[in-house]
Chain A
Amino acid sequence: MSQTLLIMKLTTLALIATMMQVSAAGFAQVTYKKEQISLEHLFREIRKQTGYNVLWSANNLKRTSLINVDFKNTSLDAVLSSSLDNQNLSFVIEHNTVLIRELTFPKPEKKVDIIFRGLIKDENGLPLIGAGIRVKGTMNSTSTDSNGAFSLIVPDEKTVLLFSYVGYETTEIIVGTQRNLVIQLKPLGGQLDEIAVVAFGTQKKQSLVGAQSSVKATELNQPTANISSMLAGRIAGVIGVTRNGEPGSDQANIWIRGISNIGGSSNPLIVVDGVPNRPIDGLSPDDIESFTVLKDAAATAVYGIRGANGVILVKTKQGKTGKPSISFNYFQGITTLTRIPDLIDGVDYMKLANEATATEAIRQGKTYSPKYADDVIAKTASKADPSVYPNVDWLGALFKDFGQNRTANANLSGGVSNARYFVSLGYYDETGLFKTDKAQRYNSAQKYSRYNVTSNLNWDITPTTKLDLGIKGILAQGNYPGADPAQDIFAQAFQISPVEFPIMYPNGFIPGKSAQGDQRNPYADLTTRGYRTNYRNQLFSNLRLTQDLSFITKGLELTAMYSFDATNSNTVKRNRRQSTYYVSQNNPYLADGSLNYGNPTYSGQRYLGYTNENSGDRKLYAEAGFSYNRQFGKHSFSGLALYNQSDNLNPFARSFTLSIPYRTLGVAGRATYSYDDRYFAEFNLGYNGSENFAEKRRFGFFPAFGAGWILSNEGFFEDLKNTFQLVKFRYSDGEVGSGGSTSGYVDNDNQRFYYLTQVNDSNDYGYTFGQTRGQGFSGIAVTAYGVDVTWSTTRKQDFGLELKTLNSGLSIIVDFFKERRRDIFLERGAVPNYIGLTTNPYGNLGVVENKGIDATLEYNVKLAAQVNLALRANYTYNKDKVVENDQAPVKYPYQEMRGHNILSRTGYIAEGLFTSQDEINKSAVFGSRSTILPGDIKYKDLNGDGVIDAFDKTIIGRGDVPASVFGMGFMLQYKNWDLGAFFQGQHNADIMLSGDAIQPFTASGGLSNVYANATDRWTIENPSQDVFYPRLSYGSNNNNFQPSTWWKRDVSFIRLKTVDLGYTFKSGFKSIGVQNLRVYFSGYNLATFSKFKLWDPELNTSNGTKYPLVATYSLGFNVRF
């Protein structure tokens, strides 16, 4: 310290001496004008013009900046003074030598604030209005004016300025000597590629070693109430199916890399804005920034006992510094059903019913009397008297041709440098296609509507402290016909034949025959049974505090979050069943010519009843932890240690046991290391527990590691870099758990606290004594035997390959995965029933293996000057295999479920239709030989014992969840036009046909409706094997409607899921403040290609009685101010 002081003093002396000498010389003059020249250049010029020898050291000039000079006969002294000003240099003129020296002491402290001016422009050079400028580490900030200009007082030259604007990358500069600057900001577009969302944070994408995929929310912005129905085929690794098209109920079932649990939940954990266990359905796609699916152990181990089914991370949009930006999106759509089952015409129905009756008469050796007499058929065909001889298209009676849906969404975002906001308000509604009856005084129209409010606020409270608040609210309401669920109405139409009774009698009486609950009039069910309303509100709130702990060590951060979510749902049912009448068939008309209604066949209620139900939940979640992130030269380290706990409460639980909060608690940890962006390693772990298990087996420990290598960053790869811009390999291996109450609420006391033996007191199994039956006792019985069980554990291995080629235009990511889940929680199957246990005990018994591949391909290319094409495709294939399920031993190896997939279907193998009585006599048959006729299905006698019985069943199908799901689409931009289409499909899934309508004349005792394709059947005249139906039979047929390969159908399909055509007005509306206006057409579920034609192949129904999926044609616009 003292030495430095001495040197400084000496230097001061020397400087004074020099100054004196300078004044002595001043005759040489310089004339020179040039811009942006270096000092060296100037010095050489001076040497040339004046003949003075200028001496400098290259070292001294290193940190100098370029200058503009304009001298006219200026003295050498003045030239040097002005040129070296602010350059940290001094000069000495001695004789004819100029000596340039470094200024070795600071200039006198004159604390003058620097006024910094600038202009912020976008990528096209246009000014950005309202962009934020902030002095880093302070609250000192401003924003640009209408010309994109700003000025800001900065403390010194070392000041770092942050420039930010919504949609653009935040840029930092050091003030230095600059006082005036034009800054061009880069748009954010590529950010998703650079930074990846991971569990509990973000990570540089190239450093990822876990398997994860993401999709931008804009791809999911389609006219559907539930965003989950958009995920299948959009993200590699997601198997998804939508099973219902009813407004508000079109959620999809989603499995990540397929089903890997036997029984129990296979649903992924969904994390919205860092809070686990939040539903995604109901969120507005306009509010979502990104979807990320975490698939392997490295990515999910930190979630411990909740991660085994995979994790979906959803991030909602956040505000960006800048002028307020308002975006408004609106569309209006028309909906139709994708496919309506084609049911038979009444006349055909009667003819076929007679044929079926005739074969039954043959079989039973009875004389044939037609079910429908010829004159009845003739009268029905003539349609002259529809009240007595009806011929009804029941589905036509239920459905309108079109419904509608629409969305309006407005969001406002922006921010000043220390506070940012994103606020959005959305509305969605959808009407169903069920008809209503104008005569009713209530509204039973099917309609679902929803309001979304989202606000994300971010404050920088101090330079090192950030506070983020997110509040999301959903208010949804549905109005439905009285029958619950509405699908039941649809199912009714399959129970009633077209000639059973008319839709309505002329006087408004409801036709109906049954005094019981079955065989109801579907139209009356739909329109006259009242209505049902459902209100649902949901509030998500989360508050996060992040504190930079750089003062302890650089790169250390503390973060804590608390969230409170609440959902309440209320359903009011107002329904009734009115009296029904049936006009006497013997004597349909009274003497006065009016219909003879007689007494009611069912005496119903006139007024609507009232019931109401509430449900909902409350969830608390808290986490707190440290993260660390630092780079030392080529070495990067990061770490995470985080404590978290959650508490889910069902306030409407039916029992105390179910009302006890569902809790988890645990620690998540992560350590990553990378070297030179070439080698990556990561270690993850989750350690957590839930109340569901006995104390000593409550916690699970789940470690995982991953490693990555970017081959293309190696020096030796340099030559290949023109061909492959990225080649990356990664591998991960580790364990993740499943157990506890991750999937929300169970509905049975016995499904909680498995370690406790549970006895239950119930009237369902009591007894009554006493002479006057006065001694009634409820029964106490063991309902669950306590067993010491714990979570199941999945080992997941993943090998991934990432490639970028064609100038980074084509990117391919392929993952091969293998999973083995052990200790699956199962009911014991091998305990013999003669032990008399009330229920089978449970145990950690099952083992399932999954293997598969998922892949993503993206290709972006500029085809011509203004033509851009983007292709995207992905594919997921998963093969699950039951290794152990504790099933009872089987008699024959072909009955073994082990070795097959979890949802395997069992049944008989159909060998065709019997061609003759002789063949029947020689063959093994199902049940009694006397019940079989030619045209009946012949089954394979697998055990060769001469009869067809349950021992001849084997595995004949995979089940309704597809093994593979794929999607592919393109987006073409030409000038202001954009056109996109996306196909989605599934493969390797099957259903088994059975039930009303698909079993002509045998379901519901023969009364059910029949598909129009019933004409495609085996007959004596045309004994074809190539028919849809075997011989028609009436009443019941034990042989023909057994589950068998005859009725198994492949439900693979490819669907034109979306089509978008848009036109963007980039200018022309600027004068009214519009930045951007896009007008578009959007089509959803437009076409389906499948070998299966009877109904929409995605519905998993055995006979088509599911509300069909809807197709939507919509027009909309999107405007940004």
Chain B
Amino acid sequence: MLDFKIMKKRYLYILAFICTLSTYSCKKYLDQVPDDRLTFDEAFTTRATVDKVLANVYFTLPDESYQRSAPGRNAGLWTGASDEADYTLPTHPANSVNQGAWDATTGFVNSYWQTYYKGIQAASNFIANVDKCQDCNINEDRTTRYKNEARALRAIYYYHLLRLYGPVVLLGNDPVAADASVESISRPRSSFDECVNFIVSELDLAIQGLPAGPTSSDAYGHVNKAVAQAYKVQVLLTAASPLFNGNTEYAGLKNADGSQLISQTYDQNKWKKAADAARFFLTTYTSYSLFKKNDANGVYSPYLSCRDVMLTDWNSEVIFAYGSPQITLLLYDMTPNHSNAPQSSKGGSFLSATQNMVNAYFTSNGRSIDDPLSNYVSTGTSSFISPYDDTQRTVSNMFVNREPRFYVGITYNNSKWINFQDNIITNLEFNGNAGKAGIGNNDYTSTGYVVRKNMSVGSREVGGRTLIMVRLAEIYLDYAEALNEATPGDPDILIYLNRIRERAGIPQYGTAGNQIAVPANQTAMREAIQKERRVELAFENARYFDVRRWKIADNTEKVINGLDITKNAGTGFYTVVRVESRVFEKKHYLFPIPNGDVQKVPMIVQNPGW
């Protein structure tokens, strides 16, 4: 056979000869490199670009306003996949979850996994390289601060993975080389407690190097000590919760070496850790307070307080908020498809609140609707003026005399649309202006309600605000919950629970005349805390995870009720009907590990049932 090497050499000579004849040198002819672009190393050398690299580390934070297009922008499918609401888009991934039509190969299962790990790798890359910056420390030690922000974010991303997938793979501090062999990067899942310990130690480490709060107006939105501490509370609360604390249903979840991934013995001390962390927050970061607002007459308004805590950027209650959410998408989803309305008040009705959630709101006297002492009436209509309305309207008694947070959270039939400028009464009955037949297309609510919380008071087309990720009320509720488990009867439980109720404008638990009797025991208190949490944090992406960590999802996530949208008021609209039968099996407490990674790295074990 021919010796190609020699041939090759000869042809190189010929090529070289011809090239010397041609006007270009051949080397030059092909030697074209884009010289207009930043290289990886250059990106870390100046503050201007380091800020952008850091912004990209933050970008993994979920933009929950984008849930219609979840898992885009890492938005969750939590609102539509919990008993709070129904996303009335047939293609929405929450509907796959609700119908049980998902598995380890489903796109969003992989998406959250991959996106958070991308954020983790981006943070690790940032931590490993930010010291290259030449001008970051002028006037301020930014490399240290930035490094700790990245460290805290990385821990936060691990927490997001942990509550979704259970025990995950821990990658350590250093970034992974892009061309590393699969063998060198294969590692098993760490146990849940190892993951928690890692996250907590990372947060503790970050807290040491972070400022207590925003040092300037520009620093809002950056992670600080309080943010890291708030997530530490959440991590520890999750770890103490029944799903992960001695859950014997996960006895089979073991690595190949037999090590248990989820603890099999209940450890009450985990609650104490959570309670301690929350108490530390509340006693250390005292500049935060529940947001309260007076009405035009200077009288305290629970309605305005509960509404505007969501709408007022960086108010006293906000611990961490997403800086540039796609808020108008969410506003569109929450605006009924008012026929004949101007665009400013015409939306998609995509986010339908469930009867389950409507029923969860307390009555104006602070009781559950099934409490015989409540002033709830389920049938008939009354002429009623809601806390925000300007006039009396004839509405179902179901919507009469409810607590202020109900009117903040729910758009119901015959209520005045929040954008007063357009002066619309939302009618969700069959032939109503936002009803199934009245609009003549598919964009009608499936339940006869639309979610309202977080809705701006002006045009739905105006965005430009932040979206809260953590606020003080949640820490209060976390604290009360942990304390009730760690040290039942601790007076702090009632103090913080009542602060929430006080702000909401409903009677507190206590012994005073207009107060409601204090829940009798730990169990009753647990129930009270859970009810309060459900209402206070409604539509804030807490419910999906709460029912799971409390291990109550097999009860709550099965039957979704609503009103009969195929009827008008006179013919049965107000009849509560089953809107959806959801599928929830034991395995659904956790996402499956994406099948791709289980196949690629066989030492990664799959979650039970998947």
Mark A residues whose CB is within 8 Å of B: 364-366, 369, 513-516, 519, 582, 585-586, 598-599, 601, 603, 624, 641, 643, 645, 656-657, 660-661, 663, 665-667, 669, 685, 687, 689-691, 695, 698, 701, 703, 749, 752-753, 756-759, 761, 765-782, 785, 787, 830-838, 841, 888-891, 926-928, 930-931, 949-951, 1004-1007, 1035-1036, 1038
Contacts and interface: CB of A to CB of B under 8 A. Distances in A.
Contact of A701 (B4, B119, B182): B4
Given A667-B18, A927-B100, A831 B324 contact: no
Interface stretch (B103-111, B293-301, B501-509): B103-111
Contact of A780 (B43, B101, B217, B464): B43
B182 A831 contact: yes
A414 B565 CA distance: 81
Contacts of A1004: 442
B323 A769 contact: yes
Most chain A beta carbons < 10 A, residue from B101, B431, B439, B466: B101
A780 B466 contact: no
A698 B28 CA distance: 13
CB-CB nearest 7 A-B residue pairs: A836-B121, A779-B56, A768-B323, A777-B55, A768-B324, A599-B340, A950-B105
B337 A888 contact: no
B583 A836 contact: no
A617 B118 CA distance: 37
A660 B29 CA distance: 12
Contacts of B19: 643
Contact of B437 (A585, A598, A665, A767): A585
B219 A769 contact: yes
A701 B3 CA distance: 12
Interface stretch (B32-40, B191-199, B398-406): B32-40
B30 A689 contact: yes
B99 A889 contact: no
Interface string B1-42: 010100110011011001100100010011111101111100
B469 interface: no
Given A759-B39, A782-B40, A836 B33 contact: no
A834 B90 contact: no
Contacts of A770: 217-218, 220-221, 323
Interface stretch (B237-245, B361-369, B519-527, B597-605): B597-605
Given A759-B39, A767-B61, 16 more contacts: A585-B437, A643-B18, A663-B29, A663-B30, A663-B32, A667-B14, A685-B11, A757-B39, A766-B52, A770-B217, A771-B314, A834-B597, A836-B176, A888-B599, A889-B602, A1038-B101
A733 to B, nearest CB: 11
Given A663-B29, A766-B55, A767-B323, A834 B113 contact: yes
Contacts of A513: 439-441
B39 A657 contact: no
A834 B89 CA distance: 30
Given A657-B37, A832-B600, A834-B113, A772 B56 contact: no
Contacts of A665: 26, 29-30
B38 A759 contact: yes
Given A768-B221, A771-B214, A598 B118 contact: no
Q: Which of A365, A701, A836 has the most CB of B within 10 A?
A: A836
B600 A888 contact: yes
Nearest to B17: A643
Interface in B287-340: 313-314, 323-324, 337, 339-340
Contacts of A780: 38, 43, 49, 52-53, 55-56
Nearest to A889: B599
Contacts of A598: 339-340
A1004 B103 CA distance: 23
Residue in B171, B182, B313, B596 whose Cβ sees the most chain A Cβ within 10 Å: B596
Nearest to B27: A695
A643 B96 CA distance: 60
A833 B179 contact: no
A837 B118 contact: yes
B517 interface: no
Contacts of B96: 1038
A1007 B442 contact: yes
29 contacts: A513-B441, A603-B342, A643-B19, A645-B22, A660-B32, A666-B15, A687-B8, A687-B15, A691-B31, A749-B34, A757-B40, A758-B37, A767-B221, A769-B219, A769-B221, A769-B323, A771-B217, A773-B324, A780-B52, A780-B53, A780-B55, A781-B59, A781-B122, A831-B600, A833-B117, A926-B101, A950-B595, A1005-B90, A1036-B95
B586 to A, nearest CB: 14
A515 B337 contact: yes
Contacts of A749: 34
A1035 B90 contact: yes
Contact of A601 (B33, B339, B581): B339
B552 interface: no
B443 interface: yes
Contacts of A585: 437, 440
A832 B602 CA distance: 11
Contacts of B106: 950
Given A691-B31, A703-B7, A772 B217 contact: yes
A835 B119 CA distance: 10
A759 B95 contact: no
Contacts of A703: 2, 4, 7
B267 interface: no
